Structure 1
Amino acid sequence: MTKKQGKLGLTARIVIGMVLGFVVGLICHYLTPAPVPGATPGFIQTWLTQGIFQIGSQLFIASLKMLVVPLVFVSLVCGTSSLSDPAKLGRLSLKTIGLYLLTTAIAITLAIVMALLIRPGSGLDLKADTHFQASKAPDLADVFANLVPSNPIEAMANGNMLQIIVFAVLFGIAIALAGKAGERIAKLFDDFNEVIMKLVTILMNLAPYGVFFLMAKLFASKGLDTLGSLALYFGLVIVVLLIHAFVTYPVLLKLLSGMNPFLFLRKMRDAALFAFSTSSSNATLPVTLETVTKKLGAKNSIASFTIPLGATINMDGTAIMQGVATVFIAQVYDVHLSISDFLMVIVTATLASIGTAGVPGVGLIMLAMVLNQVNLPVEGIGLIMGVDRLLDMTRTAVNITGDSMVTVVVAKSEGELDTDVYNDPKAALKDEEVHIPHHKPS
C-alpha cells in the first residue's frame, strides 16, 4: 500500500493532535469559572474535562499499556532464545546497565552544574506543602532479592517489569537449550511476536486522537497558572533536558558507535511524541521497540532486552529533574550544600534509578531519597509539584531517546545493527508504509 498523494504522515497528525488538544484545553480551562464549594460543576467540567477528555485519554493509555506485558515477555523470549552464545547475554547485561548508569550520572551532573550557575531558587519565598509525604522506597537489597518471581503469572498481572524480564530471559534460555521441542516453541513465539507488532501498528494510527484527548485533559485541568513564580525552575529543567537529548546522546552515539546522530534524532520523532503525550516510558514501550527495530535497524535479539530494561531502570529525565530540584530547594531554604553533598546526590540518584524501578510515583520517591541523603526538607517537594506533570512529559521523551541510543550502541558493538536500515533516510519518512497494515496480493 503506497502513501496517498497529499495525505499527512503520522508525525504531522500527532503534532496536529497535540496542538489542537493544547488549544482546546486552554480554552476550556479559562472558560470554566472558579470552583465554588458545594456548587454543581458546570457543563465544561462535567461533560468535557471529566467526561469526553477523561474517557478518551484513559482509553488511549489503557490500549497502550494493554500491550506492554505481552510485548515485553514475547519479544524478550524471542530475542533470548535466538542467542546461540550464552556468554552473549552476560555481555549484553553489562554493556546495557553500564551505559544506562553512565548516562544517568551525566544527566544529574549536568543538571546540578546548570542549577548552580543559573540559581533558580535564589530570592524566592515560596510556601511548601508541608503535608507532602513520599512513599518509602524499597531497599536495594530487597529489589535484588525480589528479582526472581515466585509466581510469574502474578508478576505479569501486577506489571512487575523486572520480574517479567528475569522470567522471560530464563524461559528464553530454556527454549534455546531444549533442542527440537525448543525450536517448535521458538517458532510459535516468533508468530506471537508478529501478531503483537501488527497490533501495535493498528493502535499507532489512533495516536493523534489519543494525544488530543491527553493534551486537552491536561491543560483544561492545569492551564498555565502554575508556572508563575516557578518559571525559572521550569525553564531550566526544560533547557537541561533538551541539552541532554540533543547534545549528550548524539555525542555518545557518535563516539561509541560511529553512527549518524542526525538520522537517529530524525527517526526518533514519532516515539518521542508518543512519550511526550503519554508521560510513561512503559506505555510508550511498544512504539519505542518498533522504532529501534524497524527504523534504526537494531536486531530484535538486542532490542527486546535493552528497551524493556531501559523503560524500567533508565531515568535520565528524572535524574535531571532531581538535580535541578535539589539545588532549587536548597536555595529556597537557604541551605548550603558542599561538594561531598553533590557527589552524594549524584551517586544516590544514579543507583536509585535501579533501586526504585517499577515503583509508582518513582520520580518523587527518588527525589525524596536524594533530599534525605543531604538533609534537605522533603516537604520542599511540594514547591515543585504544581509544574511536575508538565515536566514529566518532556522527561519521558528524553528517557526513551536514551533507551534507543543505548540500544543502537549495544547492537553495533555486538554486530547486530542493520546499518543499511539505519542509514536509509527514507525509513524516517515512511510513516504510512511502516504503520498502516497492508495485505499481500492473493
Structure 2
Amino acid sequence: MGFLKTYSSMFWLLAGIIAGSIAGLIFGEKVALIKPIGDIFLNLLFTAVIPLVFFAIATAIAHIDASHKLGRILGIMSLIFLSTILISAFLTIVAVWIFPIHQQVILSEAAHIDKPGSFGDQITRLLTVSEFYELLSRKNMLPFIIFSVLTGFAAMRAGERGAAFRRFLFSGNEVMKDLLIVIMKLGPIGLGAYFAYQVGTVGPQLFGTYAHSLGIYYGFGIFYFIFGFSFYAFVAGGVNGIKTYWKNNIIPTLTAVGTGSSIATIPANLEAAQRMGVPQDIGSVVVPLGATLHKDGSSISSIIKMAVVFAMFGKGFNSVDTILMAMGVTVIVSIVEGGIPNGGYIGELLVMSIYGFPVAALPALMIIGTLVDPLATILNATGDTVAAMLTTRFLRGRAPAAS
C-alpha cells in the first residue's frame, strides 16, 4: 500500500495517458475537440514555472552556509557532482548514437531560431536580456535562472541585513511548491487530452518512439548504476571501496524505490555513508546537498528526452554545438529540479525554452519523464553516497575507512 501511495500520482498520470491514447485510436482526428483541455493544463504550467524557478533557486543559494570551514568541502563536492553529471550525460549521448531513435513520426517541421550576429552576440542573447520584464518570459529561462542565482547569492552575502528577504524567499518557495502540486492534480486529464490529440492526428506509430527511448534509458541506466557507480567506488577506495559501497547501498536503494524521493532517502544515505567510512563532517554536507543538486538519473533522462524531441521535430542531434549545449542544459536541469515536486517538468520547460521547441514538445517530454521516474530516483539518490566517498578521497587524500 505504501508503494501504491508513493507512486499514485504517476499511476494516475499513466491512466490518463492510456485513456487518451485509446480515445485517440478510436475517434481519430475528432479528438481535436478536447485539445483545449490539454492546452489549458500546459498554460497553467507555463505561467507557474517562472516564480517557481525563481524561489526554488534563490532560496537554496540564500540559505547556504558560507563559512570558511565549509568552503573546501563545497568546492571538492561541486567538482565531483559536475563531473559525474557530465560523464553520465556524455555516455548517454554515446548510447543514443549506438542505438539511434529511428523516428517515423514528425509532429511538425524543425524549429528554426533566427539568431543573427556574431557568436558573441548569440551568447549574450542566450545568457542575458536587456530589460527586466523580458526575464518573465519562459522563452528566456536561462537568463532568468542566472538572475535567480545572483539574487540568492546577494541574499546570502547580505547576512543579517537580508534575513527578512531570505524568509520571504523560503515562504515563497513553499507556496509555489504547493501551487505546482495543485496544478499537477489536473495532469491526468490535461495530458490525457493532449495525448489523445497526438495519437488521433499522428497515429499509433507514436508508441514505438516512446518504447525505444524507454528501452535505451532503462538499459543504459541499469548499466550505469552497476558499472558507473562501481567505477566511482573503485576510484574512492579500490576494490575494497566497491565491496563497501554495494554492501551498504542496499537499504538506500530500497528506500529510494519505496519513497520515490531523493529527499526522503537522506536518512538512509547518511547512515550508509557513515558505514562506508565517510567522516560525519563530509557526509552531513554532501548527502543533503546531493539530494538537491546531484542527479545522475535526471542527467541521463534529460539527454534521452532531448534526443526523442529532436527526432520528433526533424532536427539532428549530432552536431558539436548541439551536444555541448545539451550537456550544459543537463547540468542546469539537474540543479533546477532539486527540491521541487515534479521538478523534472521544470527541466523539460527549460529544454523547450533553450531549443525553441513549440508547446507540442512538452507532452512527449513529460510522458518520458514520468515513465523513467523509478530508475531515475534510484540513480539520483544512491549516487550521493558514492559522491561522498569520492569527496572524502580527494579531500583527505586517502580512501574512506569503512566501519
TM range, smaller chain: 0.5 to 0.7
Task: Give the conservation status (yes or no) of the 8 Å contact 1:143–1:355.
Answer: no
Task: Give the conservation status (yes or no) of the 8 Å contact 1:345–1:374.
Answer: no
TM-score (norm. length: structure 2):
0.60
Distance in 1, Cα, partners of 2:173 & 2:291: 13
Task: Give the conservation status (yes or no) of the 8 Å contact 1:278–1:393.
Answer: no
Cα distance, 1:244–1:381 mapped onto 2, change above 3 Å: farther
Q: Which segments of 5 or more consecutive residues in structure 2 lack a partner in the other structure?
A: 21-62, 109-137, 157-161, 175-187, 193-203
TM-superposition CA deviations, 1:278-302 (whole Å, max 9, x none): 2221122222222212x32322211
Distance in 1, Cα, partners of 2:221 & 2:361: 22
Q: Which segments of 5 or more consecutive residues in structure 1 lack a partner in the other structure?
A: 1-15, 36-75, 81-85, 128-132, 161-217, 422-442
Cα distance, 1:154–1:393 mapped onto 2, change above 3 Å: farther
**1:105 maps to 2:105:** no
Give the alignment of 1:286-365 within 5 angstroms. 286-293=267-274, 295-337=275-317, 338-355=319-336, 357-365=338-346
Report the counterpart of residue 267 of structure 1 in structure 2. Answer: 248
TM-superposition CA deviations, 1:16-62 (whole Å, max 9, x none): 9869x99xx99xx99xxx89xxxxxxxxxxxxxxxxxxxxxxxxxxx
Normalized per residue, the structure richer in helix is 2
**1:419 maps to 2:379:** no
Cα distance, 1:231–1:120 mapped onto 2, change above 3 Å: same
Task: Give the conservation status (yes or no) of the 8 Å contact 1:299–1:417.
Answer: no
Cα distance, 1:341–1:374 mapped onto 2, change above 3 Å: farther
Distance in 2, Cα, partners of 1:107 & 1:336: 21
Report the counterpart of residue 285 of structure 1 in structure 2. Answer: 266
Distance in 1, Cα, partners of 2:276 & 2:78: 20
Report the counterpart of residue 57 of structure 1 in structure 2. Answer: none
Give the alignment of 1:244-259 within 5 angstroms. 244-258=224-238, 259=240
Distance in 1, Cα, partners of 2:236 & 2:310: 36
Distance in 2, Cα, partners of 1:357 & 1:386: 19
Cα distance, 1:331–1:399 mapped onto 2, change above 3 Å: same
> Cα distance, 1:398 vs. partner?
0.3
Percent of pairs identical after alignment? 21
RMSD of aligned residue pairs (Cα, Å): 4.1
TM-superposition CA deviations, 1:2-25 (whole Å, max 9, x none): xxxxxxxxxxxxxx9869x99xx9
Distance in 2, Cα, partners of 1:144 & 1:339: 29
**1:145 maps to 2:151:** yes
Cα distance, 1:419–1:357 mapped onto 2, change above 3 Å: same
TM-score (norm. length: structure 1):
0.55
Distance in 1, Cα, partners of 2:212 & 2:224: 18
> Cα distance, 1:365 vs. partner?
2.0
Task: Give the conservation status (yes or no) of the 8 Å contact 1:254–1:261.
Answer: yes
> Cα distance, 1:350 vs. partner?
1.4
> Cα distance, 1:414 vs. partner?
3.8
Structure showing greater Rg: 1
Task: Give the conservation status (yes or no) of the 8 Å contact 2:276–2:402.
Answer: no
Give the alignment of 1:190-209 within 5 angstroms. none
Report the counterpart of residue 369 of structure 2 in structure 1. Answer: 388
Distance in 2, Cα, partners of 1:97 & 1:310: 9
Report the counterpart of residue 118 of structure 2 in structure 1. Answer: none
Report the counterpart of residue 71 of structure 2 in structure 1. Answer: 90
Distance in 2, Cα, partners of 1:282 & 1:308: 8
Cα distance, 1:328–1:412 mapped onto 2, change above 3 Å: same
**1:231 maps to 2:211:** yes
Task: Give the conservation status (yes or no) of the 8 Å contact 2:293–2:338.
Answer: yes
Give the alignment of 1:138-217 within 5 angstroms. 138-147=144-153, 148=156, 150-151=163-164
> Cα distance, 1:402 vs. partner?
1.5
Distance in 1, Cα, partners of 2:90 & 2:234: 21
SS of 1:298's partner is: coil
Distance in 2, Cα, partners of 1:343 & 1:390: 26
Task: Give the conservation status (yes or no) of the 8 Å contact 1:105–1:350.
Answer: yes
Distance in 2, Cα, partners of 1:134 & 1:383: 19
